[in-house]
Structures are given as structure tokens and as C-alpha cells.
Amino acid sequence: MRLFSQIKKGYSSKAAIKDIFSGIVVALVSIPISMGYSQIAGLPSIYGLYGSLLPILVYGLLTTSRQFVVGVDAMPAVMVGGMLAQLGIMAETKEAMRLVPVISLLTALWFFAFYVLKAGRIVKYISTPVMGGFISGVGLTIIMMQVPKLFGGTPGTGEIIVLLQHIWNQRENFHLLSLCLGAGTVVIILVCKKLIPKVPMTIIMLVIGGLLQVIFKLDRYGVKLMAPVESGLPKLIIPDIKAAGDNFLELIMLSLGIAGVIMAQTLLASGNYAKKYHVPMDNNAELLAYGAMNVAAGVTGCCPINGSVSRSGIADSQGTKSQLMSVSAALTMVLVLFIGTPLIKYLPVPILTGIVITALIGILEFDLAKRLWKSVRNEWFIFMIALLAVLLFGTINGVIIGVVLSFWEVAIRAVNPPTALMGRIPGHGNFHSLKRNSTAKPIKNTVIYRFGGNLFFANIDLFCREIEEALKEDTKQIVVDARGIGNIDITAAERLVMFHKELKNRGIKFYLTEHDGSLNDQLKKLGAESLIEEGAVRHTITLALKDAGLEKPYTLEENTEMEKEKKETFFNDSVEEKALAAEREWLHGKADGSKS
């Protein structure tokens, strides 16, 4: 039990009291959030409270993180709810209640597999645009499913077109008072989140909803209320794999996607707390804890459990020092289940639906989309493709398309690495990008070309083409700054040998420089040792230029008086001012906005 190691050294009674109080606060805040997310996942709201008991306790005992909180959370809930919708399974039915625990168990099995494979590194392959687009698509889908409940209708299932049709068909059940309660809840929570973000408006709105029912008997006016639930602890079950039926493969893929999302979000977020407080955290041990907590979720009938950034922030603000906080939260939930469940039947459905929708709005990544549109347009398109894939084709297809997009994005970056033509800034050492520095000048009769990625079959043509385009009639030598080339495949190696021969026949010298020695070993293994034997591979750019007959100070182009580099000045600035000007352009690009 890792908890005991957290409370051994330097752990005071004062810290214990803080952690216990923090757990109580976390449990109370979790009530409306967990109930809402449970409904999103297609389960009765009481399962949100069940998911805030045993899974949290198991995680608290096994995790190496001291502050992080887990529970029923948005991302797994919306993925499960989206899957049920895609399969045409109505929420809160017996079929849904049989299937969801199976998904939790399969998710746990993926985590155990990740633990064995030490797969925590996988998170780096899921790009932010893909993750943001995918989650936003799922979030929008679930919002559309919930919309009819705001005005007295029933939730829908399916993709966006089907959901829009369902909303239109539900106009017959339109109830104005329900809409006022639901929409009013959304507006109040969103406004208060801006004005008074520290006030727990979800709890306040639940209390207000209960009071409105007690005072005004809203159900008499047609407002739907939550169904009454039994008091007491959840009954333990063994998830029935047979419930998956013909959909087993789809559930395998879904659970893999859920495990990937949980791993990406929770490892990254909990790692931030570990860094913040300079405490150790074992990523692989965390995967084991994630698996165990989702087994606990499965046997209590709940949807997969995820790390909660919002609740972790609350715990951190309370000064949490250990996972005694999670134990306290679980015990608090036991009291709630025995004492507080009779109050659930007083909660108006539109108000809880409004709480759910505001929580879903919080996970939409449109701020990210806005930033991508302004800065990296191609990543904005990746974001939108991932979003539309989920909206139009469903959660499972969205997972598949999202994974493909992630690897496609990696491939695109590899095929189009950063490149630049290099030169010298008069009066300065080193070599600088000609596009990035307006005062940089190319060396006479020389092309210095920087290639910022591995060289392989898909980008060797780009490599050769850009060098060809940079050649002039008087070019006598080409020097490649290859420090960004860590690997080369056989196609690129063979093409490099051919390119060298072509240039040699035209009287142009070719040099590969600045790379790690391991690249030379690869050239030898791939049959490109002729480059080394013929002197086309040199350690530095300076040595290559010397081999070509060029010595410092180099003669630069665009200098009618042909003065040597050491005699040149620019802007009559001091050396320090020149350096600062060069640094500004390196940081921000030229005044005209061009960048390399």
C-alpha cells in the first residue's frame, strides 16, 4: 500500500487533518458532477456516487501521486455514452447497465497490458489537435443527446444528423417551465464560473433545485424529477462479457481508446503535480493503479474511471499532502449513500441536465481550435477532421480516425522537416538562417543547407529539390548542416550517393557535416561508404569549407567592394547592438514576418 509510504516521514497530525477535510470537500463537490457524468455514460445517476467510492479508495491506496484525484469524469463518460448511442442502446436501460461494466473491465485489462509493456511512453504519440478534436466531437455529441431533457423530452442516440432529427421530433414534448429551469441553470453556472469561479455553483444549483421542488412541487406542473434510488452501498457484480454479443470487437477498440485517453490525460496531469511539489511518481506503477481502479469500477457496475483535473485542483487548493484525502473522500461517500440518497428524488431533471451540459461545455477545446487557426493552420484542419469524424461517424470510428490522424501528423512532419539556407552575419561567427536574419549573407559560390529531420524515402526528393533550387550558375560547393539527421534509410542513402555523383559531374563539391557519428555507421551499412571515402563527409561546416578552398574570413555575396568579412560593418552599431538585433530576428523573424 503506497499510501503508508506517503504518511511515514514528516507527516504531521495537522497535515492529516487537512487531508481528511480535503477529502470531504472533494466528495461533496463530486456528488453533482459524478451523477451527471454517470447519466452521460448511460447509467442511472446513483452509479456516479458508486464510482466515487471503491474506485477512489483503490486508487488512493495504490497510486504514487500524492495530490491527484480520480472519479467518474467527462472523457470516459462521453466515450461510453457515444458508443451506446452508436449501438442504438438507450441510456439507463438494463442493456446499458450490463454493457458499461464490461467496458470498464476491458479498459482495466488494457491498463494491465500497458503496465507489462511499460507503455506510458505512448502518450507522446497522441497529438494535442487530435485529442482536442476527438474530445470536442464526443462532447458535442453528448450535449446534443442531452438537449431534449432540457425541455421535457427524452435523450437521443446516434450521430449528429440523427440527433438533430430527434431533437426536432421531441418538439411535441416541449415544456416551457422545464426549459426555463434547464437553460437557466446553464446560464447561471456559466456566468458564475466567469465572475466567481471558486464558488461551487453545481452544488448550489442542486440545492436550489431541491428547494424549488419542496416549496413549489414542480412535478405538479409537469417537471420531471430524478427517479428514487436505494440507500446503501453498491452491490458487487462480475461483469458479463457475453453482454457484448456481436459488438465485442467494437468494445475492445472503444476500451483501448478510453485507456489511451485516460493514460494521456491522467499521466500528464498527475505528473505536473509531481513536478510542482518535487515528489517522485512512477508512471508504470500509475498504469497498474489505473487498471485496479477500473476493475473496481467494473465490479460496482460503473463506467471507466479517469483522473479529474478539476477535483485535483480543489484538493490541491486545500493543501493536500497525501492520498489520505482519497480515503476520506471514499468514506464521506459512504455516509452520503446511507443518508443522502433519499434526497435525490427531489432533484428536477432539467436542472441536473443543465449541470451536465455546463460540464460538457467545459471540455470543449474551441479555445485550442482558435489558437491553431491563428498560428498553425494545418493542425487546425487536423483538429476539425477529428471533431467531424466523431460527429458524423461515431465514437469508435472517431477513435480509429484519431489514431490514424496522429500517425499521419507525425508522418507529415517527418516528410516536411524544417529546412533553411545558411549564411554569415558580417562581424559574427557561426552560421545563420538567411530568412531569419536580414543581415545574414551567403558565402560566395557556396550553398549551405540545413535539414532538420531524419532522411528517408519520403523526404529525400525534398532534400535534393531544395538544394537544386538554391544552386546558381557560379555555385562551386554545397555544404549540408546535417545535425538534424539522426537516421537515414536505404532509399535515401542510395539517392544521396547518386546526387553526389551528379553534382560531382557538374563540378560541384558536396559535403555532409555536423551530424552525429552514428550516421556515418549507417551510411557504411547501407552501402553509401563512397561518400566517406571521397571526402564528402566532414565533421564541421568549417572543415568542409576549408576542404573546398575557403578560409576565414569568408567572402560574402552581395558586396560590390568584395571586402572580407572581418572588415564589414552594418548599421554602424556596436558589436553588442548587432548581437541583440540578430537575437531579435532569431526569436521573432524579420520585420516582414518571414520565418525559417
Q: Is the pLDDT of residue 586 over 70?
A: no
Distance CA 314, CA 67 (A): 10
Q: What is the mean pLDDT of residues 317-343?
A: 89
Sign of the torsion formed by the C-alpha atoms of 386, 390, 392 and 395: positive
Domains and CATH numbers, the chain: 15-410 (no CATH), 419-588 (3.30.750.24)
Q: Which residue has the higher pLDDT, 121 or 108?
A: 108
pTM: 0.68
Nearest of 259, 302, 251 to residue 86 by alpha carbon: 251
Q: How far apart are CA 106 and CA 291, in angstroms?
A: 9
pLDDT greater than 90 at residue 588: no
Residue 275: count of CB within 10 angstroms of its CB:
10
pLDDT, position 462: 96
Write down the pLDDT at residue 569: 42
Question: What is the reported pLDDT for 591?
Answer: 56
Q: Averaged over 347-374, what is the pLDDT?
A: 86
The three-state secondary structure class of 423 is strand
Which pLDDT score is estimated for 456? 94
**More confidently predicted of 270 and 558:** 270
User: Helix 128-150 vs helix 395-415: angle between axes, to the nearest 10 degrees?
Assistant: 160
275 phi, psi to nearest 5 deg: -70, -40
- Reported as a pLDDT band with limits 50, 70 and 90, residue 233 is very high
Look at residue 449 and tell me whether its pLDDT is greater than 50: yes
What is residue 539's predicted lDDT score, i.e. its pLDDT?
93
Q: In 3-state terms, what secondary structure has residue 43?
A: coil
Top-confidence range, 76-90, 252-266, 287-301: 287-301
Q: How confident is the model at residue 327 (pLDDT cuts 50, 70, 90)?
A: very high
Between residues 281 and 466, which one has the greater pLDDT?
466
568 has pLDDT over 60 = no
- Average confidence score pLDDT of the chain: 86
**Residue-wise pLDDT tens digits, 262-294:** 887 788 678 767 877 888 888 888 999 999 999
CB 143: neighbour CB atoms within 10 A?
A: 18
557 and 443 in contact (C-beta within 8 Å)? yes
Three-state secondary-structure class, residue 433 = strand
Specify the higher pLDDT residue, 36 or 395.
36
135: CB partners within 8 A, 6+ apart? 75, 78, 261, 363, 364, 365
Beta bridge partners of 478: 447, 510
Question: Cα separation of 592 and 479, whole Å?
Answer: 28
Task: Determine the Cα–Cα distance for residues 328 and 317; give it in Å rounded to an integer.
Answer: 16
Peptide bond into 155 cis (omega under 30): no
What b-and-e string marks burial along 310-339, b requiring 16 or more CB atoms within 10 Å of the CB? bbbebbbebebbbbbbbbbbbbbbeebbee
Report the pLDDT averaged over residues 335-355: 87
Query: For residue 561, what pLDDT band results from cuts at 50, 70 and 90?
Result: very low
Q: What is the pLDDT of residues 117-152, one digit of tens each?
A: 887 766 556 677 887 887 788 788 878 888 998 999
The conformational region for residue 223 under phi > 0 = left, psi -120 to 50 = alpha, else beta, is beta
Contacts of 360 (CB under 8 A, 6+ apart): 40, 74, 78, 139, 142, 143, 146
What percent of the chain clears pLDDT 70, i.e. is strictly above it? 89
pLDDT at 223: 93
Give the pLDDT band (50/70/90) at residue 570: very low
